[in-house]
């Protein structure tokens, strides 16, 4: 009989999806976000500003100058990411391969209504599976929005095959979230991930410092479902390598 590692009381060590005021819908500075990341006991933290054609995208200068962002602050490892937009049902994105991709450590690919009109279940699912085929895409952001209904069985089998991480987005579990039916969709996604052995990463998708490293709702759901810890990236710093990031020795 397989003995599962319980997720209860398990510490999530990093948060790789967050926005600063460089994104037009972000309210906090990098320093404020770092302060909350450290306060919540994170060991690694990533900024992932909106990019491309999203109306709230950061200006190009915010990507040009990522080099000034320190790699570590008071023991907190800092990563430079980007949240890119999927713009067709084949999974193409509007990531700038010359001006943004070389400057970031990892890429989150997400569906956002201003960038792709919601399609059929097949179209939406194909869009996410297509995005997984791009080597630079490490994480599929918030695949939990009923505005973009999905075939979770197909999505999760593709994620397992490609090794790409599906995001458990804590913001999607909050009542204020603009995405639809997040809690129900996340639950379905997690049950199928556990069934098939597909990996996930828990992220806050914070747009204000108070939410950085806030995983309360996600942790409660993981515990309720007894989700296997061996599929959760955040519980072990060496699993930063699942996102293509240099692992941290502990």
Q: Is 205 helix (H, G, I), strand (E, B) or coil?
A: coil
Nearer to Zn ion, 83 or 219 (CB): 83
Write down the least CB distance from residue 29 to Zn ion, Å: 17
Sign of the C-alpha dihedral computed for residues 4, 6, 10 and 15 taken in this order: positive
Distance CA(246)–CA(226), nearest Å, equals: 29
Q: How many CB atoms lie within 10 A of CB 176?
A: 5
Write down the least CB distance from residue 110 to Zn ion, Å: 4
The single residue listed with the structure tokens 């937009």 is: 85
Write down the least CB distance from residue 1 to Zn ion, Å: 40
List Cβ neighbours of 151 (8 Å cut-off, separation of 6 or more): 121, 122, 125
Q: Residue 15 interacts with Zn ion (CB under 5 A)?
A: no
Distance CA(96)–CA(99), nearest Å, equals: 6
The residue count for binding Zn ion (CB under 5 A) is: 3
Nearer to Zn ion, 51 or 125 (CB): 51
Q: Residue 105 interacts with Zn ion (CB under 5 A)?
A: no
Region from 7-15, 57-65, 102-110, 144-152 binding Zn ion, contact rule CB under 5 A: 102-110
Nearer to Zn ion, 81 or 149 (CB): 81
Q: Residue 49 interacts with Zn ion (CB under 5 A)?
A: no
The rounded Cα 95 to chain-centroid distance in angstroms is 16
176-215 footprint of Zn ion as x/- string (CB under 5 A): -----------------------------x----------
Ranked by CB distance to Zn ion, the top (closest) residue is 110
Distance CA(229)–CA(161), nearest Å, equals: 19
Site for Zn ion in 64-83 (CB under 5 A): 83
Inter-residue contact 109 to 141 (CB < 8 Å): yes
Write down the least CB distance from residue 19 to Zn ion, Å: 6
Among 7, 21, 85, 110, binds Zn ion (CB under 5 A): 110
Q: Residue 51 interacts with Zn ion (CB under 5 A)?
A: no
Which helix (H) or strand (E) covers residue 156, if one does?
helix 152-162
Distance CA(187)–CA(222), nearest Å, equals: 9
Q: Which two tokens stand for residue 139?
A: 């994480």
Write down the least CB distance from residue 84 to Zn ion, Å: 10
Residues at the contact surface with Zn ion, assessed by CB under 5 A: 83, 110, 205
């Amino acid at each position: 009989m397989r003995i599962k590692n319980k997720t209860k009381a398990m510490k999530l060590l990093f948060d790789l999806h967050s926005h600063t005021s460089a994104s037009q819908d972000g309210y906090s500075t990098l320093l404020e976000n770092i302060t909350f990341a450290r306060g919540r006991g994170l060991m690694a933290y990533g900024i992932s500003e909106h990019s491309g054609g999203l109306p709230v995208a950061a200006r190009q200068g915010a990507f040009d100058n990522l080099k000034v962002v320190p790699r570590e602050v008071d023991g907190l490892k800092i990563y430079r990411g980007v949240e890119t937009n999927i713009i067709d049902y084949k999974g193409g994105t509007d990531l700038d391969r010359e001006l943004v991709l070389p400057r970031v450590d990892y890429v989150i690919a997400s569906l956002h209504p201003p960038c792709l009109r919601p399609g059929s279940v097949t179209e939406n699912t194909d869009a996410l599976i297509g995005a997984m085929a791009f080597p630079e895409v490490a994480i599929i952001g918030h695949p939990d929005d009923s505005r973009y209904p999905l075939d979770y069985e197909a999505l999760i089998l593709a994620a397992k095959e490609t090794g790409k991480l599906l995001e458990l987005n804590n913001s999607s579990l909050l009542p204020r979230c603009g995405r639809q039916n997040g809690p129900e969709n996340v639950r379905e996604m997690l049950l199928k991930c556990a069934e098939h052995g597909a990996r996930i990463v828990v992220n806050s998708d914070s747009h204000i410092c108070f939410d950085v490293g806030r995983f309360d709702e996600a942790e409660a759901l993981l515990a309720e479902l007894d989700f296997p810890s061996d599929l959760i990236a955040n519980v072990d710093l060496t699993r930063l390598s699942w996102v293509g990031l240099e692992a941290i020795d502990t």
